[in-house]
Amino acid sequence: MSESLALKDIMNKPDRLAPGHRMCAGCGATIGVRAVLRGLHEGDHAVIGNATSCLEVSSFIYPYTAWEDSYIHNAFENAGATLSGVETAYKILKKKGKVKENYKFITFGGDGGTYDIGFQSLSGAMERGHDMVYVCYDNGAYMNTGIQRSSATPMYADTTTTPAGKVSNGKPQYRKDLASIIAEHHVAYVGQTTFTKDFKDIHRKSEAAIYAEGPAFLNVMTPCPRGWRYETSEIMEICRLAVETCYWPLFEYDHGKWILNYEPKNKLPIEDFLKPQGRFKHLFKAGNEHLIESFQEEVDRRWEELLKKCN
């Protein structure tokens, strides 16, 4: 965030997502939304897009809404297309003098609607260069429709479509690295973040994304207590372990430059992140040690690849 703003001032900004929605206790999505929207400067307006998701069905129950800004619910697959159209219309109206206020364009989608179903419209919006921010709240599965696997689901996770049991060890594929894929579109800004103890990382990256001139993308890890099966009070610890094991590195791509934001002094083993989550409990049964080793190898490979990008 702007250096002139202290953390206390940032946290005391009026919330742009009002309480009273129906999201689960311990859900990361609404924490992420509130943190991202604190990146908006006072006096600036926003148009919020929202792909069909847990977030949408729980925050917008017609005719009631928890959103303080202009809000558009669009279909699962077209969040990128919807906001790119609105942003284009705004530019035309501003040029004609019919709109004088400053607006920012921010759309939210879960990983199912971003990594998979909505990837085509997201990629198109980024490639065309629209001045907008796409925020993926990544909870690692299609949580709204019953915890089915997505391409964001980590290797060996137990989901309803990749159940762990006698004939399966969970999802066999590793998760897609979407933040890096969007960076390869040569956009203005990409940030990967989650909830750190002082929220400084997500606040700073949100402001950077919102006020970058051109397309920007934020990938925010937002744990889901139902799908990940952890105690609701443990969300911050889950996020800390994701970062300290390098499962979820904090990095950004700023106008062509890769930047590593945090490197653990003592990189923790991946089992520290996996063990508190019920979706991975089968990995800790006798005879499955090789699965954890395989998971660790992939985390290490991707970490080394990121270090090279960040020089």
Digit-coded pLDDT (tens) for 159-184: 999 999 999 999 999 999 999 999 99
- Tell me the three state secondary structure of residue 169: strand
pLDDT bracket for residue 26 (50, 70, 90): confident
Q: Are 297 and 291 in contact (CB under 8 A)?
A: no
**129 Cβ partners below 8 Å, 6+ apart?**
214, 215
Domain holding 285: CATH number? 3.40.50.970
Flag whether 95 is in a domain. yes
What mean pLDDT, rounded, does the chain reach?
95
pLDDT attached to residue 5: 57
Flag whether 1 is in a domain. no
Q: Bigger pLDDT: 287 or 7?
A: 287
Digit-coded pLDDT (tens) for 53-107: 999 989 998 888 999 999 999 999 999 999 999 999 999 999 999 999 999 999 9
Would you say residue 8 has pLDDT above 80? no
Flag whether 56 is in a domain. yes
pLDDT bracket for residue 4 (50, 70, 90): very low
Average pLDDT over residues 254-277: 98
Average pLDDT over residues 130-158: 97
Tell me how many domains the chain contains.
1
Flag whether 218 is in a domain. yes
Flag whether 33 is in a domain. yes
Flag whether 2 is in a domain. no
Flag whether 267 is in a domain. yes
Structural domain range at position 103: 7-309
Flag whether 197 is in a domain. yes
Residue percentage of the chain with pLDDT more than 70: 98
